Copies of this chain bind each other. A is one copy, B any other.
Amino acid sequence: MQVVDAILPARAAFGAVPRPLGFVPTMGALHRGHLELVRAARASCRTVAVSLFVNPLQFGPDEDFARYPRDLAGDCRQLEEAGVDLVFAPERETMYPPGFSTSVDVGEIGARYEGAVRPGHFRGVATVVLKLLNVVRPDALFLGQKDAQQTAVLRRMVRDLDLDVRVEIVPTVREADGLALSSRNAYLSVAQRAAAPTLQRALRELYAALARGDGKENAVRAARGLLDPAATLDYLDVVDADTFEPLDAPRAGAFVVGAARFGQTRLLDNIWLPA
C-alpha cells in the first residue's frame, strides 16, 4: 500500500493505477463503517484509494475540529489489511495553502437540516471533496449512507459540475443495539452510549407512524417520545433523497432523517426507504 501526502506525487500515483479506480474519502478515525466502504469499492473496482484528511473547512468555529480523533498509523494499518492500494493523507497546508479562497456552494440543498444547524458545513464538504476528486480522478466515489444529506449534496455537486464519476451509497453499519457507527461515538459517556440507540428507534417510529397514515406533526411527536429524555433533538423528518426537501409522507427512495445531541456529541442517523 502506497501512502502519498503531496498533490503532484498523488496525481502521478493515481494516474498510473489499473482502472476502474474506486475512491473512499474519509476523515480518518476509521471504523467498520469505513471498511465497509472499502469492501464495496473493492467489489467493483480494480484499484481502491482512500483519503485521510480532517477537513477544517467543514467544521464550525465552535465545533470539534481540534479534538476530532486522529490516528494515521492505526488507520493505515486497517487500510492495508483491508486491501487498499493507495492512501492520500495530505497536511492541512497542502490542501489549503496561503491565499486559498475558493469554495463550492451547492445552494438550498446545503442550507437545510445539517446545513441549518452547521452553517458552512456542506460548503466545506463540497469544496474538499471536489479537490480530492480533482487529485484522485476516480471512476467511482463511495459514500456512507449514514451521512445522508452529505450524499445528496455530493450527488448534486457531481451532476451540476459535470464530474465524470459514479457515486455509490453504501448502507450504514450498526452496532448490535442499532447505533450507527460514527467516529464521534468515541466521545460518548457510558450513559450517553446507552441512550444513543434511541435516535434510531425514534426514526423507526416516525416511519411507522407516517406509514400507518398519521399526520407528520403527530408522527414526529410520537417519535420524539422514544428519544432519550436527556438528549436534545435537532430535527426529525422525512425528506426527498435528491433535494432534501421535507415530504408530508414517506415514499420510495426517501430518507427518514434525524439528529440529536447526547451531551456535547451530535449524532445523525437515517432510514433509507427502498426505491
Q: Which of A's residues lie within 8 Å of B, judged by CB?
A: 7, 11, 99-109, 126, 130-131, 134-135, 156-157, 160-164, 242-243
Complex Cα distance, B158 from A130, in Å, reads 12
Separation in Å of the A74 CB from the closest CB of chain B? 27
B11 touches A102 (CB 8 A): no
A156 touches B108 (CB 8 A): no
Separation in Å of the A106 CB from the closest CB of chain B? 5
Separation in Å of the A161 CB from the closest CB of chain B? 6
B157 touches A134 (CB 8 A): no
Residue of B nearest to A106 (CB): B102
Complex Cα distance, B126 from A59, in Å, reads 25
Complex Cα distance, B157 from A130, in Å, reads 12
Q: This chain: how many copies in the complex?
A: 2
Which of A107, A161, A163 has the most CB atoms of chain B within a 10 A radius of its CB? A161
Separation in Å of the A159 CB from the closest CB of chain B? 8
Separation in Å of the A118 CB from the closest CB of chain B? 18
Complex Cα distance, B126 from A156, in Å, reads 17
B105 touches A243 (CB 8 A): no
Separation in Å of the A12 CB from the closest CB of chain B? 11
Residue of B nearest to A136 (CB): B162
Q: Are A161 and B131 CB-contacts (below 8 A) given A99-B243, A243-B99?
A: yes
9 closest A-B pairs (Cβ-Cβ)? A101-B107, A102-B160, A134-B162, A131-B162, A102-B106, A103-B105, A135-B162, A100-B160, A102-B157
B130 touches A161 (CB 8 A): yes
5 A/B residue pairs, CB under 8 Å, sorted by A:
A99-B242, A102-B106, A102-B107, A104-B104, A134-B161
Residue in B99, B135, B164, B242 whose CB lies within 8 Å of A11: B164
Separation in Å of the A80 CB from the closest CB of chain B? 26
Complex Cα distance, B133 from A161, in Å, reads 9
Residue in B100, B102, B156 whose CB lies within 8 Å of A104: B102
